[in-house]
Structure 1
Amino acid sequence: MPDAPTTARVRAKAERRDALLSEAARLFAGHGFDGVSIEDLGSSVGVSGPAVYRHFPSKQAVLAALLVGVSEGLLDGGRAVVETSADAATALRRLIRFHVDFALRDPDVIRVQDRSLAALAPQDREAVRDLQRRYVELWVDVLARLSPATDRAELRLRAQATFGLLNSTPHSARSVTPTRTRALLEEMALAALTGPATRAPTR
């Protein structure tokens, strides 16, 4: 069993790493990946720039930890939602609530992904995209249980469009209370995912 000082050091290191990732999201969202230096990042948590390298080998590694980490969290969290839901309808409502929680809690991470995904190393960029594809398919699987006659491509389009809605709206919702914002987002997402599609007449 580790002694108390060792445990405290491990905990402090983990907390500092988490703080660096949180500040990286804020700084990258506000200034862009290229507009933030390692010194800026270290200063934001009260350490020198070189001290950041005790946690990450490079600024690009910070970005990778941020974006791969959030994608892993969404996939793992989404799986837990589905696995603990009694039926597909419950799973869908809980998935929507889960993603709304993310969008409202981490808008800076969403901005960073939108603007800086291309700055990742190729293998990290592909890891993020693979995790995102699997997250989308998790939703599509639930939608397919609710609407088995609907083509998966259409269900996938609905899911991806819904992510666009949920991920973009919190940026412009400052004039609406958080409680009302959450309710509106959940209502609109459910309508987008389950409402009837209107087909244009063929000519």
Structure 2
Amino acid sequence: MSSTDRRVRDPERKERILAAAATLIARHGYLGVNLGDIGADAGIVGSGIYRHFENKVAILVALFDRVVDRLIVGAEQALRTSDGAERTLAALVRGQVRFTIDERALCQVYLQESRNLPEQDARRLRWKQRHYIDLWQEALMSVREELPPAKVQVLVHAAISSIHSSLRYRNHLSTEEMAAFLEEVACGMLGVAPLPRTENRLNGDGDDRAVG
């Protein structure tokens, strides 16, 4: 193989690796999956992974970054574009619900495998997580001015946790029914009305997919 051939990379290969890793790690746990498993599921030889990731830990870090970065992008977009504090908060809820349902395996890895992150990456990701939570808390404080910061913090974590709880079981609701009910529950905790369902596009275009 020439040096030119070695430099040519499938632009979709990295995405296939990450998608395969998320699915396998969610199913078997981080310690139950090796690079050969990921490569086989992604349709490439295990050694091909090294063109994109130094090792399995690097894949896990990339998965965590993907979750937090997409949530932050969506939250910041909601803060910029929503009309009024209550609708902003409802948009944050919808974004979190949408991402959790659309990226179930990725979110399961995020919740289950933080103990396997290198400490330096764990600290960096905790900073990003705090920034995301701060965006929610600022929005809630604008809506519920009577609440002290400690209660705002409790409510935000409770609302997000109620959405994440759907990752721990299978249910018999349709995707749309589940999304609507999770929004209703989380918005109820925060004291705001969910956005109208006519504004929902759970499987919408790229901009929607980036939200929360």
Distance apart, 1:123 and its partner CA: 1.2
Kept after mapping to 2: 8 A contact 1:107/1:167: no
Question: Is 2:72 the partner of 1:72?
Answer: no
Aligned amino acid, residue 55 of structure 1? H
TM-score (norm 1): 0.87
Superposed CA deviations along residues 75-127 of structure 1, whole A, max 9, x for unmatched, are 12111111111210110111111111011111212221222111111111112
Question: Is 2:119 the partner of 1:119?
Answer: no
Point out 4+ residue stretches in structure 1 off by more than 2 angstroms: 170-174
Structure 1 gap segments, 5+ residues each: 1-8, 196-203
Please give the secondary structure, in 2, of the residue aligned with 1:75. helix
Aligned residue number for residue 172 of structure 1 = 169
The change in CA–CA distance for 1:65 and 1:110 in structure 2 (over 3 A counts) is same
Question: Is 2:100 the partner of 1:133?
Answer: no
Identity among equivalent positions (%) equals 30
TM-score (norm 2): 0.83
Q: Which of 26, 29, 33 matches 2:23?
A: 26
Question: Is 2:153 the partner of 1:156?
Answer: yes
Report how many aligned residue pairs link the two structures: 187
Kept after mapping to 2: 8 A contact 1:92/1:139: yes
Structure 2 gap segments, 5+ residues each: 1-7, 193-212
Distance apart, 1:172 and its partner CA: 2.9
Q: Which of 46, 49, 52 matches 1:49?
A: 46
The whole-number CA distance in structure 1 between the counterparts of 2:120 and 2:64 is: 12
User: Higher Cα Rg: structure 1 or 2?
Assistant: 1
Please give the secondary structure, in 1, of the residue aligned with 2:51. coil
CA RMSD in angstroms comes to 1.8
Q: Which of 92, 98, 122 matches 1:95?
A: 92
Aligned residue number for residue 40 of structure 1 = 37
The whole-number CA distance in structure 1 between the counterparts of 2:83 and 2:112 is: 38
